Structure 1
Amino acid sequence: MVDLDGIDDLDVHWSTSEEMTEVKDGTVQSVITSPPYWDLKDYGHEDQIGTADKSYEHYHDRMETVWSQCYDVLRDDGTMWVVVDTVMERGNLQLLPYHIAERAEDVGFVLQDMVTWYKPTAIAGMTDRNVVNKKEYVIYLSKSKDHKFRDKEGQNGLEDPAVAEGHRLGNLWRHPVKRGTVGQNVLHKAPYPTSLINRIVEVSTEPGDTVLDPFFGSGTTAVSALELDRRCIGYELNEEFREVISERLASLQQCSLTEF
């Protein structure tokens, strides 16, 4: 494991992202995150968004506070990418990605697209009477209409439906979920694949830029950002994730030493 406090270009704050006073306004190039869902996954902290909220609307009120904080710290040409899916609430399907997008627009964000993340290895449905859920959404928002987008850097291979030879990046992205050591970790129940975050980092930032994850979790955003020579700032309520993140970044540092 490594000491997170000693890693260059990484700042982790063990507090709520509803108040990000440690980050200066206008200094972040891209926000990349997968937020807690309403009344679905318990990540082990009594004040966490999603399980400590009185209602679906109260959940979105708290989320809007986070989006407002993200808007303030973003550069004028910055973007925000939110990986999230629909959820079932008492037997009713809630279009969570669209509701998040609406609240982000209320803050001032511009909705650029709803990218579909295709997960070919997924095997579970929302209920026993539902089809198997093979997708999530990536809400693509910008602080202004004149924002940074580096299309050419985001191509990951011709097997991806988002990429055809000689064509621009599409809005259907194929990234299988691999059940590795993080996927089996009982603390974090919903890690996203590094390949997905690599693509977002590459299309939305340049080396040396700062990436922010307001729901840091197991640290996938940091793995991608640091590996691609970006700075990373994270906020996480549950400090029990410290060991998981340390182990992942230790593996990253070891890979770098091996390559050197």
Structure 2
Amino acid sequence: MPNLKSYTGLEVHWGSSEEMDAVEDNSVQSVICSPPYWNLKDYGHDEQIGTSDESYDRYHDRMQKVWSECYDKLADNGSMWIVVDTVMDKGDLQLLPYHIAERAQEVGFILQDLITWYKPTAIAGMTERNVVNKKEYIVYLSKNKKHKFREERGENSSEDPAVENNHRLGNLWRHPVKRGSIGTNVLHKAPYPISLINRLVQVSTNEGDVVLDPFFGSGTTAYSALELGRKCIGYELNEEFESVIRERLTPIQQRSLAEF
């Protein structure tokens, strides 16, 4: 598998996105990420955000540092898209997307919308005494009221209510989660579908723009950004994910070699 440094337009930094000094201020067009959820998934690193021994307030304090860093790195017409869902805390529902939006607004972001991502293939409920959870949210924020937004629909099924009847792009998006080599990987537990990220990249950037993912994970954001002619910067605490990222990006390198 190719070394990550061999990809043109890709930077991967192994460290916490609570400090992103390696990224120039005002140099990023779009932030696209799925952050660690509080007290839900263990990614195997002592310094990870959201572990079970960390309070809900402490979790948001640390996340707010990340949002502040993202705000500084974004261009004046940039935007941020956070894929996140609600969580259960001792039987009580915590409205995590709304609380993330509140903290992001405190550092200067403008809340544009809460997009609902409908996952028709989801089969698990939050608890055994609850309904099956078939959605997540995308917290859509911008640095200023006048920000880059392209009316791009992306390649998706005609069943997607966001694009039905040739209307303007709506805020209910249907993107099934497909099981595959990345989806079944036990190391990284929260992949999201490429069709979803493609839409986020296309609506928020032009070719050549820079996309930042402060929670790089398995590299899906980078895959989409590079495939669509953008650049990508990622921050990831867990260096064990490197092999997963390299595997994820291999098809791009193979296509580039074939075209050459």
Paired residue secondary structure (2:239):
coil
Q: Answer whether contact 1:46 1:52 (CA < 8 A) is retained.
A: no
Partner of 1:39: 39
Which structure 1 segments of 5+ residues have no match?
none
Range that drifts further, 1-10 or 21-30: 1-10
User: What is the identity, as a one-letter code, of the residue corresponding to 2:8?
Assistant: D
Structure 1: how far apart are the matches of 2:239 and 2:185? 15
Structure 2: how far apart are the matches of 1:152 and 1:129? 39
Paired residue secondary structure (2:17):
coil
Structure 1: how far apart are the matches of 2:73 and 2:153? 25
Which structure 2 segments of 5+ residues have no match?
none
Counterpart check, 1:27 vs 2:27: yes
* Per-residue deviation, 1:152: 3.4
Partner of 2:222: 222
Q: Answer whether contact 1:223 1:252 (CA < 8 A) is retained.
A: yes
| CA shift digits 1:152-199 (9 cap, x unpaired) | 354634221100233100000000000100111111111000100000
Pairing 1:44-59 to 2, within 5 Å after superposition: 44-51=44-51, 54-59=54-59
Seen in structure 2, the aligned counterparts of structure 1 residues 87 and 52 have a Cα distance that, compared at 3 Å, is closer
Q: Answer whether contact 1:15 1:235 (CA < 8 A) is retained.
A: yes
Q: Answer whether contact 2:13 2:234 (CA < 8 A) is retained.
A: yes
Partner of 1:113: 113
Paired residue secondary structure (1:111):
strand
Q: Answer whether contact 1:53 1:59 (CA < 8 A) is retained.
A: no
User: What is the identity, as a one-letter code, of the residue corresponding to 2:248?
Assistant: R
Identity fraction in percent: 72
Partner of 1:93: 93
User: What is the identity, as a one-letter code, of the residue corresponding to 1:138?
Assistant: I
Partner of 2:242: 242
User: What is the identity, as a one-letter code, of the residue corresponding to 1:224?
Assistant: S
Structure 2: how far apart are the matches of 1:245 and 1:75? 27
- Number of residue pairs aligned between Structure 1 and Structure 2: 260
Q: Answer whether contact 1:152 1:168 (CA < 8 A) is retained.
A: no
Range that drifts further, 150-159 or 25-34: 150-159
* Per-residue deviation, 1:255: 3.5
Give TM-score scaled by structure 2 length. Answer: 0.97
| CA shift digits 1:99-140 (9 cap, x unpaired) | 000000000000000000000000000100110000000000
Q: Answer whether contact 1:154 1:169 (CA < 8 A) is retained.
A: no
**Runs of 4+ off more than 3 Å:** 152-157, 255-260
Range that drifts further, 110-119 or 44-53: 44-53
* Per-residue deviation, 1:251: 1.9
Partner of 1:75: 75
Give TM-score scaled by structure 1 length. Answer: 0.97
Structure 2: how far apart are the matches of 1:131 and 1:157? 26
Partner of 1:173: 173
